[in-house]
Structure 1
Amino acid sequence: MIDNIVNNKAIKLFILMAGFFVANALIAEFIGVKIFSLEHSLGIEPLSLSLFGVDNLSFNLTAGVLLWPFVFVLTDLINEYYGQRGVKLLSYLTVGLILYAFAMFYVGIELTPADFWPQSHISPALPSAEQQAIASKVSDYDYAYRLVFGQGLWIIIGSLVAFLIGQIIDVAVFHRIKASTGERLIWLRATGSTLVSQFIDSFVVLFVAFYLGADWGLSLVLAIGVVNYLYKFTMAIALTPVIYAAHYTIDRYLGEPLATEMKIAAQRQN
């Protein structure tokens, strides 16, 4: 049994893609608590956009957006070779694991810290003056821990709802395009389905997390949603060559007969 699994290329490929899929989604959720300036990170002046009556908008994004485009690329690849059932299985598994991770974070947050913990990472080899300077900055280390790992409930709900809706829409659009174009136009079904699903994702997460959960105005939600989608749109287009490279690599690994058989079987699920 184990030999059959280990030696089966289709199973090994699914495990590999599933691992990266889940890992990217988990990491994106956890690092998403940080908001960064895209323009400053690139060394350019921030843009000043005006949308829906909201002024001075720029690309201030959650760090999680760095990984979500790769999640959607993996979604399209899994969709191509394993069909809707493969994508839905991993999507539901990912949501369950994210909820489990946040539950464990909550347990960790509620644990009473040891007295020595805030200073435990300070190297005794440092001069005493430097040790004291560092200690003064981490006097409330437990509070910082809570801020980083203790994301708000509405943000968690919003991101998970948006993720599931985005995945379902991505699958549906992908196979609708493929049914019309066949094996041609990989870019259209892969990038096209990503553009549609990320458009929905960009607004659903903000609507749930901040319109329902934080009393943001609808105009602010729409304005920030457009800014976020502009970034995701650009990344989806930029990653199109990656999709072709991944198809080529996977087809070479599986061999043309097996790759074709898997694609046909994936399409028949619909």
Structure 2
Amino acid sequence: MNRGIIIGVIAMAAIVVASNILVQFLLGDWLTWGAFTYPFAFLVTDLMNRVYGTSAARKVVFAGFIVGIICSFIGTQIIGEFGPLVTLRIAIGSGTAFLVAQLIDVLVFDRLRSGKWWRAPLASTLIGSSLDTAIFFTIAFSAGLAFIEPANDVSWANEMVPLLGAGAMLPLWVSLAIADWGVKLVLALVALIPFRVLAQQLTLRTA
């Protein structure tokens, strides 16, 4: 396997592991520290796609997916104050969201790769991030999907509260999702800077 792709796999694995650890630590009422590390998974995928192509990007995605499964399994074995750190719904939501969002990211990036340099990474990351947030929070916490894990009480996530503390009354998990999505959107813009720099450097090294 190409050295650059191996580095991509290692970077993706590091982001997935770090995010699974940091998601356990709250930051304010709506976020966890993991919200600030996980979005960089899209940066790694887009860099692999730009420099090495879609096949390499998918390899990195699947490597991250496998690492995520391992992290979820470990989390199910660790019992916290309110039960396992990772429930079945969270594991399914996390894995499904990651795989679908990242593969869509790869597809969108490839379709737009011939345009302006920023268009492909920005569009693919925005679409992928939106899908990731919607899929994960819906599967993990929506009352309508309680049948996935009937024994898992997610009533706390479905408590009706003002949206982000000030808006319409909606389930708590919706505020959590929107806050998470907002961080992803901001970081999608910020990540354009390292994407531009790293893509140029990696392209020169492979030339």
Give, in angstroms, the shift of residue 106 of structure 1.
4.7
Aligned-partner residue type, residue 248 of structure 1: Q
Question: Following the alignment from structure 1 to structure 2, what is the Cα–Cα distance between the partners of residues 226 and 106?
Answer: 26
Q: 2:182 aligns with which of 227, 230, 238?
A: 230
Q: What is the root-mean-square deviation in Å for CA atoms of aligned residues?
A: 2.5
> Under a length normalisation based on structure 1, what TM-score does the superposition of the two structures give?
0.62
CA displacement 1:158-186 (0-9 Å, x = unmatched):
111111111111111111112xxx2x411
> 1:250-269 maps to which residues of 2 (within 5 A)?
250-255=202-207
Question: Following the alignment from structure 2 to structure 1, what is the Cα–Cα distance between the partners of residues 75 and 174?
Answer: 31
Larger Rg: 1
> Under a length normalisation based on structure 2, what TM-score does the superposition of the two structures give?
0.78
2:102 matched to 1:167? Answer: yes
Tell me the equivalent position of 1:199. 130
Structure 1's unaligned 5+ residue stretches are: 6-10, 38-57, 110-142, 256-270
Higher relative contact order (CA 8 A, sep 6+): 1
Give, in angstroms, the shift of residue 147 of structure 1.
6.3
Do the aligned residues in 2 keep the contact of 1:30 with 1:149 (CA within 8 Å)?
no
Do the aligned residues in 1 keep the contact of 2:76 with 2:86 (CA within 8 Å)?
no
CA displacement 1:183-223 (0-9 Å, x = unmatched):
x4111101111011101111111100000252537943444
Do the aligned residues in 1 keep the contact of 2:27 with 2:33 (CA within 8 Å)?
yes
Q: 1:154 aligns with which of 89, 103, 109?
A: 89
Question: Cα 1:199–1:244, aligned 2, differ >3 Å: closer, same or farther?
Answer: same
Tell me the equivalent position of 2:10. 19
Do the aligned residues in 2 keep the contact of 1:33 with 1:148 (CA within 8 Å)?
no
Tell me the equivalent position of 1:71. 41
- Across the two proteins, how many residue pairs are aligned to each other? 186
